[in-house]
Amino acid sequence: MNLYNNMYSEKQCADNRWINWEKIKQFPGMPDVEKAYHDIGLHELMAIKQNWHKETIKQFYSTLFVNESRTSLTWMTGRNRKINVTKKFCQKVLHVPTKHGIKIERQLTDAQEEEIKSADGNQVNSLNRIIRKTIHPANGDRGDIHRLSQDLLYHILFRKPFNIVDMMFEEMENNHRHNKKRMPYAPYIMLLINSAIREKFVLEGGGNERVHKRYNMEFKLPKQTKDHAASKSKSTCAPLKKSKSMHVQLMKP
């Protein structure tokens, strides 16, 4: 209770979003991005849509225990309700492969970083933006975010399978006693709670659900170069009116 009052009373949830793949793949280049996530086994996880209760997530983190081998989670939900689940249970609920047992490489080599730099810039950007809204929501120290985002990017870009649930357990554990970082994975945690108790958890005393929002990616059209603009002004054709849609919204809110 002291940990909750001293640390978690003011903590906020990270901005986790869900991905509508049907909308995304209509845009140029995005089918390849979707395939990358599909090949690595994260496609269904990122499409999960689950509302949550903020106080329930706070209670989860304030009572969380991850065993030393990171094969199980234990926490309290509601009034004195202790829940213990295995990693395999979490993999099943979150729709990720159980066969991927390799832990993510936490520090890339110089050669691996060069591989990322040599890849298609648009694809790298799109992959990274989705990472930072789903499996590694941007929060906390920027350097740490950059490092783990880069590690994830490398594995996904080059189709190197890893144990995503093990990584999530580690991130939860790191967040457990950190009073500045926002709490990640609220939608996934709420789904685990509902699945563990085999019903939709109802917060005692009511309370509003937090809506799990869809990630509305936006793509900006490339700017015209000065040479292109100059040659266009010399054209005998009537000048085109300046478009109001200089950036295209990927998905409607």
Express each pLDDT in 7-22 by its tens digit. Answer: 677 788 999 999 999 9
- Kindly state the percentage of the chain with pLDDT values over 70: 77
pLDDT 10s digits, 126-145: 999 999 999 999 754 444 44
List the domain range (segments joined by +) for residue 179: 2-197
Residue 213: inside a domain, yes or no?
Answer: no
pLDDT at position 147, please? 84
Calculate the CA 252 to chain-centre distance.
19
pLDDT at position 79, please? 83
pTM score, whole prediction = 0.80
Work out how many domains the chain is built from and give that number.
1
pLDDT at position 105, please? 85
Residue type, 92: K
Residue 139: inside a domain, yes or no?
Answer: yes
Residue 86's φ and ψ, nearest 5 degrees, are: -90, 165
| Cα 69 to Cα 166: distance, rounded to the nearest angstrom | 9
Tokens for 88, please give them: 């395999």
Residue 87: inside a domain, yes or no?
Answer: yes
pLDDT at position 207, please? 65
Nearest by Cα to 73 from 198, 178, 195, 203: 195
Residue 224: inside a domain, yes or no?
Answer: no
Residue 240: inside a domain, yes or no?
Answer: no
Sorted by sequence, the CB contacts under 8 Å of residue 72 that are 6+ apart come out as 66, 84, 85, 86, 87
What's the chain's average pLDDT? 81
Residue 92: inside a domain, yes or no?
Answer: yes
Sign of the four-CA dihedral 141, 144, 147, 151 = negative
Q: Checking phi first, is residue 52 left (phi over 0); if not, alpha (psi -120 to 50) or beta?
A: beta
Residue 133: inside a domain, yes or no?
Answer: yes
Ordered mean pLDDT values, 10 residues apiece, the chain (253 residues):
62 93 86 94 96 92 93 91 95 93 88 93 90 82 64 94 95 82 94 90 71 81 46 42 40 40
Residue 202: inside a domain, yes or no?
Answer: no
